[in-house]
Structure 1
Amino acid sequence: MRPSLDRLPGIRPTRSDRAAILRIVKTLAVAAVGGALFKELHIPLAWMLGALLFTGVGGRLIGPLDVPRTMRDTVVPVLGVLLGSGFTPEVLGHLGRWPAGLAAVLVYVVVSAIFGVLYFRLVVKFDPLTAFFSAIPGGLSDLTLLGASLGADLGRLALIHSMRIIVVVTTIPFGVRFLTGTSAVGPASATAHGPFTAWDLVALVLCAALGTFLGRKAGLPATPVLGPLLVSAAAHLAGLTAVVPPPWLVILAQIVLGGYIGSRLSGMAGATVRAALLHGLVWGVVLVVLAFAAALVTSRASAIAFPSMLLGIAPGGLPEMAVITLALNVDIAFVTVCHLTRIVAVYLITPFGVRLGGWTIPARRKG
């Protein structure tokens, strides 16, 4: 019987324990190589997508790969803290400046979710939970974990949202350039947050630990992400800290999470993988078309420039859209507020949608 990877090896590891440890090390090595290669190729969300793809393919070529769920749950709070760090007092102060743009983001989330559920239920024939979470235009890591925690199909979610983000991030800059003549001004540089103080380190660790603990007590779905996100947002809004997790730690979290998801894709049938990627491509194109239409209508009905509205409403990842925004010299404050609004809307709509649909966790995926 295959040894469980969700338990810590004993003080004196057995042969099965050593095999499990070696499998973890091999998986993380494959994931890191994939992430580094994607980074060199300037592919969006490089570390996570590269890790996911390489472990997904590697599991079929070099034998079983695995990352234990306990390891995943240990590192993913970093991503929650990172998302929560975007809710600063400065950003919050902008909320009242762009009512038309923020309203457009909310309408876009709801409309795209409705169209997506219809597509994935009626055309793709997914079960209700997987269809719902495939349709929601949220982040790859947090939305995949949230959907899987409620019983949606982890593998299909990962493939569909990976393809969706690739389509959005690779087409939007060309669309802005074609319609407006705006071109990239050069690679964006990361915002400097200054050196870490001892208090900053303590504050971020507390956000992760306290958020996970309170999230479990409250029964939140995807607790390792959502709990730290909420506590981190509160800490940053209160001015208790103004820093974000260090880049190396964020990269490590993406490698582990990408390896965790990718290693579980290797057990999927090839036809299932190809179908999920195809439908992810189709849905990504639909989302881009809807984003262009919504941005055009909103920009003509308000004083918001079309490039800003398009980048604010496009359902890519917040870090990737921020890089594109800086490269195109577009209003970064507006785009950041729009994407934070989308994140909040997704987390508000998700439990409401699941409850409204009356969907339950499929027995085959409980736990």
Structure 2
Amino acid sequence: MKRTKLLLLAAAVLTGSLFSYLQLPAGWLLGGLVTGIVCGMAYKRLVFDGWPFRTVLALIGCNIGFMMEPGIFALLGQYIFPLILTLSLTMALGAGLGWLMNRWTDLDPLTAYFCCVPGGASEVIGLSSDYGADNRMVAAFHTTRITLFVLTVPIFIGLTTPADIGSIGSAGPAVSEVSPAVMGVFGICVVVTVLLYYLYKVPAGTLFYGLIIGFIAGHWVVTIDNGLPSVIGGSGQALLGAMVGIRFDRPTFYKLKEIGRPSAVLLGFYFIFSLLLALMFHAATGLSYVTSLLSTVPAGAAEMSSTAIALNLEPTLVSSLHIIRVLVLFICLPFFVRLLQKLIQKQSV
């Protein structure tokens, strides 16, 4: 099993590097994602939960942290009100789609709602079972949602923006040009990030800790002029893509098929809403539309941050906004669930 996992990850990095060489949008990430999906559908799902997945998230988070500039904190303050507006609309969308899923399918209200909670897939799947929802159906829907967005958003950006945008983020120093001390510090940052997550677990914690630790190390521990080698970030994106893609296996497909046509319609609503939400955020902030899309789309924080790295579209801003979104979502989630439970009790009386 371990050998099979290593072969999959090696194939993901190889395919990602090929896609990047061909200048496909977010080539590293898409290459890993396609490799994972093919393996999951043709062979079987390989589980990468636990420290392997957290290590990849830490690598991506620390890589972004090394890129961060102090001015990012002032930018976040400028965008907080548009973020609150779009976040409120996103949470309302989740509740509305959950209501539609409950009406259109035979899923119970709690399961339907958890299927449509916009973001934090791993945490939502874990919480859903605690509240008595069918976490198998929740996992299937969230896996499909994230796979859909990770697969389509880079392609959409590539088709609607200048042709060279996919290759911008590939520039970077060679590994030999970066001192061993810098690489050693980066490795320590990744390890510390993973350990910190297991000591203090919070939603999107691995990415959040990686950002902070990478920022501190990149500004006060070591000095880097041209950033880290692009192959580090690219390999992290490919590995993340493979670990996400492998989740979309045949059992997931069959579970989603049980819901039938409503699942496709609801996912279509998600996608169209994301495009409109990005347009609203773009109008309110003045950020480019593609940056606004990556910052507001209700998909995985790490996945969209990786896409932003690959396309060189404000990765630190994208990741920071996503972390805020996930944290606020999980602060509000218990209140929404209690309200839903009360409504269910009133209807059953």
Give the TM-score normalised by structure 2: 0.68
Distance of 1:266 and 1:186 partners within structure 2: 31
Higher helix share: 2
Residues 36, 244 of structure 2: 8 Å contact kept? yes
Question: Is 1:228 aligned to residue 210 of structure 2?
Answer: yes
Q: Which amino acid aligns with 1:250?
A: G
Partner of 1:280: 267
Partner of 1:76: 57
Q: Which amino acid aligns with 1:342?
A: L
Instruction: Give how far 1:288 is off.
Output: 0.1
What is the total number of aligned residue pairs between the two structures?
Answer: 303
Partner of 1:161: 146
Residues 54, 194 of structure 2: 8 Å contact kept? no
Instruction: Give how far 1:110 is off.
Output: 2.8
Q: Which amino acid aligns with 2:324?
A: A
Cα deviation code 1:56-94 (max 9, x no counterpart): 2222xxxx3524434334433212212333432243455
Cα deviation code 1:235-282 (max 9, x no counterpart): 346575557554334344344444434444325253434665664343
Partner of 2:329: 350
The one of 258, 276, 279 aligned to 1:289: 276
Distance of 1:147 and 1:246 partners within structure 2: 34
Q: Which amino acid aligns with 1:200?
A: V
Residues 129, 354 of structure 1: 8 Å contact kept? no
Query: What is the CA RMSD across the aligned residues, in angstroms?
Result: 3.8
The one of 22, 35, 43 aligned to 1:51: 35
The alpha-carbon distance between structure 1 residues 90 and 150, as it changes in their structure 2 partners (threshold 3 A), is: same
Partner of 1:260: 243
Partner of 1:16: none
For residue 251 of structure 2, give the secondary structure of its aligned residue in structure 1. Answer: coil
Give the TM-score normalised by structure 1: 0.66
Distance of 2:252 and 2:172 partners within structure 1: 44
The alpha-carbon distance between structure 1 residues 219 and 200, as it changes in their structure 2 partners (threshold 3 A), is: same
Deviates more, 1:208-217 or 1:271-280: 271-280
The alpha-carbon distance between structure 1 residues 354 and 30, as it changes in their structure 2 partners (threshold 3 A), is: same
Instruction: Give how far 1:342 is off.
Output: 1.6
Partner of 2:101: 123
Q: Percent identity?
A: 13
The alpha-carbon distance between structure 1 residues 342 and 80, as it changes in their structure 2 partners (threshold 3 A), is: same
Q: Which amino acid aligns with 1:260?
A: M
The one of 240, 251, 270 aligned to 2:253: 270
Question: Is 1:113 aligned to residue 91 of structure 2?
Answer: yes
Residues 193, 209 of structure 2: 8 Å contact kept? yes
Query: Residues 167-178 of structure 1 correspond to what in structure 2 (within 5 A)?
Result: 167-171=152-156
The alpha-carbon distance between structure 1 residues 161 and 241, as it changes in their structure 2 partners (threshold 3 A), is: farther
Distance of 1:292 and 1:281 partners within structure 2: 17
Residues 164, 281 of structure 1: 8 Å contact kept? no
Residues 81, 228 of structure 1: 8 Å contact kept? yes
Q: Which amino acid aligns with 1:110?
A: S
Distance of 2:2 and 2:316 partners within structure 1: 43
The alpha-carbon distance between structure 1 residues 257 and 319, as it changes in their structure 2 partners (threshold 3 A), is: closer
